[in-house]
């Protein structure tokens, strides 16, 4: 077992491995502007940016946690691509930025506020095959609409981009606020056994929603598809996330009732789940 001091050093090294991946992103900004000004083609700019990321990784990876460094570099490269994309195709560019920021911020938030649970899985990149399929579907539907159904642009798309972006930002803020409020009691995984640092959190945002991190993710997911103007993906995301959280919340609340008994029962009576039509464990 690691000593507490050694664990803290490991957490700091892992976090710094993630933060350092933003260096090539910032160094890529001049290439992005040169591309936008038409001095370099998109492909040449992307190649130079890719070389920059590879060099940064190969030179500095020995000083950091390689597994974290690699994943963070991948996500910041996706973030850079999204930034370039957003100038020519705002919706898909913003969607790409949103995805990369979500996964990076999940890891960073866990590392800052609940480091005891920080693992390589905190990026949530290995969430599930269904999650990866949903992302692929969103990109596919967008490009089919863009190039085959609405080559001249989707009607009122800017209104949908604004609405979707507001939902995404609100959902992301709500989720991160929940993680900050719960701190050491937050975990990406449902805890089947209580630990000494786990507490029932009922203050702050938890005074309004029993599962604010799930509420945030629910509206974040739906908002991404409104932003893309993807009607099919929107319905599938809405149904899939609702079913996922309805099952997860019932199971999680069953464990919380075992841990806290009537204390949690009273909390259930006072505070709603937050996701429409999900009642939780009864």
- Give 126-166 pLDDT, tens digit per residue: 888 999 999 999 999 999 998 888 877 777 889 999 999 99
Beta-carbon contacts of residue 157 (< 8 Å; ≥ 6 apart):
91, 229
- Give 196-253 pLDDT, tens digit per residue: 777 899 999 999 999 999 999 999 999 999 999 999 999 999 999 999 999 999 999 9
Answer whether residue 190 is part of any domain.
Answer: no
Answer whether residue 84 is part of any domain.
Answer: yes
Answer whether residue 78 is part of any domain.
Answer: yes
Of the candidates 100, 17, 97, the one whose C-alpha atom is nearest the C-alpha of residue 60 is: 17
Domain range for residue 51? 1-88
Q: What is the total count of domains within the chain?
A: 1
Answer whether residue 66 is part of any domain.
Answer: yes
Instruction: State the sign of the Cα–Cα–Cα–Cα dihedral 73, 75, 78, 80.
Output: negative
d(C-alpha 262, C-alpha 275), whole Å: 23
Answer whether residue 217 is part of any domain.
Answer: no
Answer whether residue 13 is part of any domain.
Answer: yes
Mean pLDDT value across the chain:
92
Answer whether residue 12 is part of any domain.
Answer: yes
Answer whether residue 168 is part of any domain.
Answer: no
């Amino acid at each position: 077992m690691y000593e507490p001091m050694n664990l803290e050093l490991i957490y700091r090294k892992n976090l710094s491995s993630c933060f350092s991946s933003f260096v090539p992103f910032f160094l890529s900004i001049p290439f992005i502007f040169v591309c936008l000004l038409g001095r370099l083609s998109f492909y040449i700019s992307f190649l130079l940016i890719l070389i920059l990321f590879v060099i940064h990784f190969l030179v500095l990876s020995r000083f950091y946690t390689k597994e974290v460094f690699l994943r963070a570099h991948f996500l910041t490269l996706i973030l850079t691509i999204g930034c370039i994309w957003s100038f020519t195709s705002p919706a898909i560019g913003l969607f790409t930025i949103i995805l990369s920021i979500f996964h990076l911020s999940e890891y960073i938030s866990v590392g800052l506020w609940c480091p005891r649970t920080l693992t390589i899985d905190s990026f949530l990149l290995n969430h599930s095959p269904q999650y990866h399929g949903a992302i692929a579907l969103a990109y596919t539907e967008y490009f089919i609409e863009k190039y085959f159904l609405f080559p001249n642009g989707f009607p009122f798309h800017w209104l949908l981009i604004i609405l979707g972006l507001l939902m995404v930002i609100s959902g992301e803020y709500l989720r991160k606020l929940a993680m900050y409020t719960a701190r050491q009691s937050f975990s990406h995984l449902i805890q089947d056994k209580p630990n000494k640092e786990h507490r029932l959190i009922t203050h702050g945002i938890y005074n309004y929603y029993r599962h604010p991190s799930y509420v945030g993710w629910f509206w974040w997911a739906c908002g991404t598809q409104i932003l893309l103007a993807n009607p099919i993906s929107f319905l599938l995301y809405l149904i899939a996330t609702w079913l996922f959280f309805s099952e997860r919340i019932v199971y999680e609340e069953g464990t919380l009732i075992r841990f806290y008994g009537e204390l949690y029962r009273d909390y259930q009576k006072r505070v709603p789940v937050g996701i429409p039509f999900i009642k939780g464990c009864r």
